Structure 1
Amino acid sequence: MYRWLIAIIVIMLLGLQYRLWFGENNLRDIWALQAKIELQQSVNQELSQRNSELEAEVQDLKKGRSALEERARSELGMIKEGETFFQLVEPAKEK
């Protein structure tokens, strides 16, 4: 009688082990999902940091004139009234 009980317990343990390693939602799938979650969390952290920087820049552009002036000078090449603009041109190379 004890042999049957032990055999049933062993079969149940083997069945549970099979399901744990090879069945639906096995350990390998869980480990792969955990790795994907960690990767996505790091991507989300980077994007959150970028969004914070962009929000700060937007607030600065809305409220401050210095950032607006800096952007107009660097990107649009604008100058203030009364300023003198000097453009340095390198001489053409002789052939």
Structure 2
Amino acid sequence: MFRWFIALLLLILLGLQYRLWFGDANIFHILDLQEKIAVQVDENERLQMRNRQLEAEVTDLKKGLSAIEERARSDQGMVREGETFYQLVEPSVEAIEN
């Protein structure tokens, strides 16, 4: 009788181990999901930071003229009246070799 009880417990243990390692929600699947969650959390943080930067830029464009002026200078190459614009150009490799 005791042997049957031990055999039954061993079968139950093997059945549970099978589900743990090879069942629907096995250990490998859980580890894979945890890795995907970590990657998604990193991506979400990156996107949240980008959204905060864009929100700050929109607020600055709505409220301040300095952001508009900075955009005009960098994107359009505009200068204020009375300012002098200097453009520094690095010499090409051919000019250096000659």
TM value normalised by structure 2: 0.83
- The number of equivalent residue pairs is 94
Which amino acid is 1:34 matched to? Q
| Alignment of 1:68 onto 2:47 | no
Structure 1 residues 49 and 20, CA gap change in structure 2 (3 angstroms): same
Which runs of structure 1 show a deviation greater than 3 angstroms over 4 or more consecutive aligned residues?
81-90
Pairwise CA RMSD? 2.2
TM value normalised by structure 1: 0.85
Hey, what's the Cα distance between the residues in 2 that align with 1:87 and 1:3?
A: 92
Structure 1 residues 83 and 53, CA gap change in structure 2 (3 angstroms): same
In structure 2, the residue matched to 1:43 is: 43
Which amino acid is 1:44 matched to? N
Structure 1 residues 69 and 27, CA gap change in structure 2 (3 angstroms): same
Hey, what's the Cα distance between the residues in 1 that align with 2:41 and 2:53?
A: 18
Structure 1 residues 87 and 7, CA gap change in structure 2 (3 angstroms): closer
Identity %: 62
